[in-house]
Amino acid sequence: MIDETTTSAPAGSPAGGPSDAAEHLDVVVVGAGLSGIGAAARLRAAFPGRRIAVLEARDVSGGTWDLFRYPGVRSDSDMATLGYPFRPWVDERSIAPGGAILQYVRDTAAETGVDQLVRYRHRVVAADWSSDDDRWTLRVETGASETGANAPDASATGTPGASTPEASTPEACTPGAGAPGAATSGTVTLTASFLFLASGYYRYDQGHRPELPGEDAYEGLFVHPQHWPEGLDTAGRDVVVVGSGATAMTLVPALAAGGARVTMLQRSPTWVAALPSRDRRLLPRARRIGLRASARVSRWRGIAGGLVTYQFSRRAPERTKRLLRARVAARLPEGFDVDRHFTPRYDPWDERLCVVPDGDLFRALRDGTARVVTDTIDGFTARGVRTSSGEELPADVVVTATGLTLQLFGGVRMTVDGRVVDPAEHVAYKGAMLDGVPNMAFAIGYTNASWTLKIDLVVRFVARVLSTMEARGQTRVVPAAPTRPGRLGALSPLIDLRSGYVARGLHLMPKQGARAPWRLHQDYLRDLVLFRLGRVRGDGLTYGSARASSSPTTATRPKDRP
């Protein structure tokens, strides 16, 4: 699958096609967030001779963990499973601040040499596949700077005991275009044999911000958590946080701890569970078995715990509801209206369960530094929000924690042999590729467990596929959905959460079938078998070679087959 030619102008390529000088890469990873850095580290270690580049639209790495800077920003799943298996998270903080996660991602990039592969300010806007020569032609906008860097968490610098994935040879890799800001403004064309889209799942430039009734009357400050103003001081001020998702649950105790008087205004409640923020067994156990082994135990405990609680809650929703409600009630003062504020009508995991580390939200509610109001917005006054039941909530600042705007594949416009790919018209293969779209995989993680658990399985599967192609001198792999009626089963959206951002983006989303490999399991153990042991030949994947088949391909043995 390694293609040593450097230029070609595929028939059916976009207007004019790539110039003769277009640089060719074996694998292009789009996005230098948690997924893209992990994917590039794995692929570089597995194929040290291949030309791999990570194209990143922004001028910094870290994705989500750099973009979000609101007070208290943190993980809401345990870091033992959100961290990379090849570079375990060895910090006691299992619910970690955003800055620590950002530092971990960047340390991983530096340690694995992936930072040398990243080309910043490279936004992929179009990807056109040509079956004449089995290549993607990428149109990339360069140079437009987006947001700056978040402050990484100094206390998290270096995660001791962590190590790189399998050894790699830096000199064999494509040198990165280097440091942030290296690109000059313009458009470049690149070609690639394989595309790995690690571009997240939401728009960076714009969070979801519905118009609120009568908002023009308000004279205070509106803030969206996705664009938190640097240096905003809320101490001693009245803040109304509109929303009931993970962001609101994070912001409310953080703002209260910073001296604000906070009201969380939610239309309807969310299921919430308090979890310990620290993994207190990690270090004592490390003294007996070593830090890496101890981190591995934590990871498996996290995986098993997550699976058991998820399965239990889906099979016994009524018992789960009673349990969750009782636990919340136990943390709140007597007389608190738990039913109104913390007992949703939907079943746990119909929407993502919100985690409250060490019960910090409940502490703020107990202390009286925060309160929760479950009501709808009727309108605004100059100084605050008026609810439908007539209450006026004073607000110097209104935080619209109203969610994300779903965007798939980083907004990249894809064509296959001149035909536009509308993801919503395709069925996803193992939740990682699209039927009929060759040489492309994407990173969309679990919604009921840590994102990285899924992404790492996908990347290792991609490495197996690439090795298979290489061994057989083939240049193309395409998922082919069964055409016989009934073989796919009933189609449904790829992600079956009812959360707002998913519901709003349903029309954009690929479909899934009813059975493997066309079904997305939200189940790490099943996926472990499917991705690591499942066949890479047959089972829905078809392989082939370029129609023109004249491009010389040079097969080199991969250093290590993951």
Ligand X SMILES: Cc1cc2nc3c(=O)[nH]c(=O)nc-3n(C[C@H](O)[C@H](O)[C@H](O)COP(=O)(O)OP(=O)(O)OC[C@H]3O[C@@H](n4cnc5c(N)ncnc54)[C@H](O)[C@@H]3O)c2cc1C
Interacting residues toward ligand X by CB under 6 A: 30-36, 55-58, 63-64, 68, 73, 75-77, 82, 123-124, 198-200, 204, 410-412, 443, 445, 450-451
DSSP SS3 for 465:
helix
Query: How many residues can be counted in the chain?
Result: 562
Q: Which is nearer to ligand X, 32 or 353 (CB)?
A: 32
Please check whether residue 140 is in contact with residue 55, taking contact to mean a CB–CB distance below 8 angstroms.
yes
Chain centroid, CA 223 distance in Å: 23
Contact at 8 Å (CB) between 527 and 459? no
Between 57 and 395, CB nearer to ligand X: 57
Q: Dihedral angle at the C-alpha atoms of 127, 131, 134, 138, nearest 10 degrees?
A: -10
Give whichever of 4 and 205 is closer to ligand X, judged by the CB atom. Answer: 205
Nearer to ligand X, 2 or 355 (CB): 355
The least CB distance from residue 557 to ligand X, in Å, is: 30
Q: How far is the CB of 45 from ligand X (least distance, A)?
A: 18
Q: How far is the CB of 343 from ligand X (least distance, A)?
A: 24
76 vs 360 by CB, closer to ligand X: 76
Min dist. Cβ of residue 444 to ligand X (A): 8
Minimum distance from residue 244 beta carbon to ligand X (Å): 15
Nearer to ligand X, 109 or 463 (CB): 109
E strands in 243-394 = 261-266, 272-275, 354-357, 370-374, 377-381, 384-387, 392-394
- Cα–Cα distance measured from residue 217 to residue 213, given in angstroms and rounded to the nearest whole number: 10
Q: Report which of 14, 35, 8, 2 is spatially closest to residue 414, judged by C-alpha positions.
A: 14
Strand partners, 202: 406
Cβ 295 to ligand X, closest distance in Å?
A: 17
- CA 71 centroid distance within chain: 20
Shortest CB 181 distance to ligand X, Å: 15
Which residues are CB-neighbours of 79 under 8 A, at least 6 positions away?
89, 91, 93, 94, 95, 96, 101
Q: Which is nearer to ligand X, 131 or 250 (CB)?
A: 250
d(CA 175, CA 51) in angstroms, rounded, equals 9
